[in-house]
Amino acid sequence: MRFVTAAALIAVLAAPALADETPSIKNGVDEIGRAVKDGVKDGYDKTKDATLNGVGKALDATGKGIDHAGQAVEGAGQKVDDKRNPDGE
């Protein structure tokens, strides 16, 4: 009887030591957490980059449009005045 008890005790204690590490729920959750964190950070960085570049380009284009409009309007008052008084009065 002692032999059976000793063998069972050795088997119970040796099994975890000899077994491969099995995945646990905690390790899985930690891994998922890291993946989500990395994905969110990567997505945020890409969105930030696109926003900064996109907004910057849009503002540049808007500025160029306003500049063109300003150049067209510049001197318009004098042109209207010249049309109103063709003989320069």
More confident residue, 6 or 88: 6
CA distance linking residue 31 with residue 25, whole number of Å: 10
Q: Which two tokens stand for residue 70?
A: 């300003």
pLDDT of 85 above 80: no
Q: What is this structure's pTM?
A: 0.35
Domain ranges of the chain: 39-89
Q: What is the pLDDT of residue 53?
A: 78
CA distance linking residue 24 with residue 31, whole number of Å: 11
